[in-house]
Structure 1
């Protein structure tokens, strides 16, 4: 897990919010596996706007390349780009996304698969709704313990983590929170 500051400018972030609001948001569904989704507000309560935007994905990927390759810990993993399907999430007061792992996306041609989540914070001015990741720590003796890491959102900043990491979007107490989420794709 690592973060990237200033991946998007405040102006770019505001423009993405404006653009997605003009497209419209619908209730976010929960991936149930096997291509099925369901509305489960007790687990996931927020709204989303999905955009297929390869140009935006490529622009972000170009900005990320140096960071991605310098933070790569698995020599066998070949990062090839971002999933162009961008999911914009809007959380309003009372919205939450309980602890979960992100699902894996396999490209239809079978050449790539998602491995990492890229989440970009698009605004500030809200209370609560923090992203909390449950990561493993290992001491010098090899003992492993789970540690909760809370991400402090900054406009235009991103957090990147493996799909296997348990994480949650805490209860939003005040205001509206916008994030953009997509996947970092690796060669299969």
Structure 2
């Protein structure tokens, strides 16, 4: 379902009142193997009311049902593997919603608008080929996740998603936290549930705790992380990806311009 009819008119339109950015410092957090890797926390992206409205709208697309989340196993296939991942999920495709969310945070992360010679993010091949990848949009597929007591997503690295026409691919993960640790209206307080970055030997960790309206963004490539066990209460998040398209090389762009000009001249009978 792609409609935004379940959301208030003007939802997420206009800037957030007060976004603050904190870079994740992997070296200070005793994860020096990630020294040149990229992750940031943006607080204040959405208000508590907006988060509640978004969760309600997502639940309205399924009649309030949360299916069990699956694990990607390659070849476009998914399986339920609860030893690895155990939580509820709602999938909601909405280009308009993701465009509005990206508009709120785009100016906060200018350094990832254009990826050039950044092997830690794109891999060595694109960097050696001097490829330039330009941020295009957030993936329209919003994956809402619901973790209750005892649920988790064990340590893993995120994989790149490529569109079916192969014109875009993802390089960064976005997590939007939709509730706070404090319980509301008599609900049990959330304990646990941090997004945890691990050293490769699993001995050191950096925790990013859930906070309503907070966004965590980090590169897909080679960052080992988990959704820590929820010990009590409920954790609600939304996950998507930042998509990129390959910029044509300057000479290719020039040739394309000349070709279009010639085609236009032919069409005009010149």
TM > 0.5: yes
Contact (CA 8 Å) 1:31, 1:103: kept in 2 or not? no
Residue 116 in 1 paired to residue 161 in 2?
Answer: no
Number of the residue aligned with 1:166: 224
Separation (CA, whole Å) in 2 of partners of 1:147 and 1:55: 39
Separation (CA, whole Å) in 1 of partners of 2:199 and 2:169: 22
Instruction: Please give the secondary structure, in 2, of the residue aligned with 1:61.
Output: helix
Separation (CA, whole Å) in 2 of partners of 1:115 and 1:70: 13
Separation (CA, whole Å) in 1 of partners of 2:83 and 2:199: 24
1:95-145 superposed Cα distances (whole Å, 9 cap, x missing partner) = 010001112211122111011000000001311011101368xxxxxxxxx
Contact (CA 8 Å) 1:122, 1:156: kept in 2 or not? yes
Q: Find the structure with the greater CA-based Rg.
A: 2
Separation (CA, whole Å) in 1 of partners of 2:199 and 2:92: 30
5+ long unaligned stretches in structure 2? 1-38, 117-131, 183-189, 247-270
Number of the residue aligned with 2:9: none
- Deviating more after overlay: 177-186 vs 11-20: 11-20
Taking structure 1 as reference, are residues 15 and 31 closer, same or farther at Cα in structure 2, changes over 3 Å only?
same
Number of the residue aligned with 2:133: 77
Which protein, 1 or 2, shows the higher relative CO under an 8 Å CA cutoff with sep ≥ 6? Answer: 1
Picking from 128, 133, 145, the partner of 2:197 is 133
Contact (CA 8 Å) 1:82, 1:182: kept in 2 or not? yes
Instruction: Please give the secondary structure, in 2, of the residue aligned with 1:116.
Output: strand
Picking from 108, 129, 138, the partner of 1:67 is 108
Picking from 131, 140, 151, the partner of 1:95 is 151
Where is the helix percentage greater, Structure 1 or Structure 2? 2
Count the aligned residue pairs: 180
Number of the residue aligned with 1:19: 57
Separation (CA, whole Å) in 2 of partners of 1:72 and 1:54: 19
Alpha-carbon RMSD: 1.9
Residue 154 in 1 paired to residue 211 in 2?
Answer: yes
1:43-84 superposed Cα distances (whole Å, 9 cap, x missing partner) = 100010000011110001111111121466843331111000
- Deviating more after overlay: 18-27 vs 158-167: 18-27
5+ long unaligned stretches in structure 1? 137-145
Where is the strand percentage greater, Structure 1 or Structure 2? 1
Residue 187 in 1 paired to residue 254 in 2?
Answer: no
Number of the residue aligned with 1:143: none
Taking structure 1 as reference, are residues 135 and 157 closer, same or farther at Cα in structure 2, changes over 3 Å only?
farther
- Cα displacement (A) at 1:152: 2.1
Separation (CA, whole Å) in 2 of partners of 1:74 and 1:134: 25
